[in-house]
Amino acid sequence: MFRRDVVSALALSVLLFLAGCTAGVSPTTPSTESTGTGSLEQGVTVTVVDVTDGDTMDVRFANGSTETVRLLGVDTPEVYAENTPSEWDGVPDTQVGRDWLRQWGANASDFAQSELDGERVEIRVDPEADRRGGYGRLLVYLSTTDSERSFNQQLIERGYARLYDTPFSKREAFADTEAAARDTGRGVWGFERTDDQTASSIQDAPLELVEINFDATGNDNENLDDEYLIFENTGSESLDISGWTISDSAGHTYTVPDGVPLAAGARIRLVTGPGTNTESTLYWGEEQALWNNGGDTITVRTENGELALTESYPRTTSSNSLARCNCQSSYSLYVSTSSPSIA
């Protein structure tokens, strides 16, 4: 009986000792405050392992732990939930307005995917802002090595996002950037201009965009010759397009070189990648894919800066190409299975 009591007491002592040693030990998942080198206030290098949408992504720290981060101070349109058009000045609270926002949410996601997925980036928190958002996501500025501005601000600058108006140190700079994007109708802010400009351009300009091949076969970035636009001179006279500019919603701009006349009824192809220009083909000279597969806006201006045409395509088809048909004297985009011939 005595020995049994002694054994029980010893066992209880061991358990109490172990409990004392392990008290206060945190779970095995390390805190983000101690991951990698440096601190979140000064900036920590991480790897983007998954892009959820334009403003949310998962990152991996140097020690292998992961976090879901939300870009501070910005809001891209929703892709997986309903949008609220009233939050986006100039976008009507209609199905067309909601479709427009959904399209630009997809555009923002595609942009973030192409720029960030698998990349090493720096994230840091803002001492004047909340550390985490409503869903427990870490609120950060995210920066890439090749840009002086944060990716947060680039989203606003390119028209992929609006200012998310909460307290943070860069709020005024972000507000100015949004104002500039809205003034120029860039990206999501171009809704009010699209219909009126397209209508006037179709009536007045002899240049038509007849095909958009936005999704090249295979990897877009490895097949730049298969990403292109095709334009046609629908007028009855030759059209000199020297000095005209073609741009996307992000502001990438191509200027047509001197000496490019387009005969009446002739077509010319603008290829994204590098190459030697010919009478029927121009090469933009980009080293990576340009036109967003999820939707984009093509804007053409004359040498004097006057609008010649603007065309937006949404994420509404599984085809990788859109073309025009002439139906009852009006042009409409339809899915194309083959490329029009080039004159």
Residues with a known catalytic role: 70, 78, 137
CA–CA distance, 262 with 259 (Å, rounded to integer): 10
Contact indicator for 73, 170 with CB cutoff of 8 Å = yes
Task: Write b or e for each residue in 310-332: b if 16 or more Cβ atoms lie within 10 A of its Cβ, otherwise e.
Answer: bbbbebeeeebbbbbeeeeeeee
CA–CA distance, 196 with 193 (Å, rounded to integer): 6
Contact indicator for 300, 309 with CB cutoff of 8 Å = yes
CA–CA distance, 42 with 33 (Å, rounded to integer): 11
CA–CA distance, 160 with 106 (Å, rounded to integer): 9
- CA distances for 102 relative to 96, 275, 307, 314, angstroms: 10, 35, 26, 9
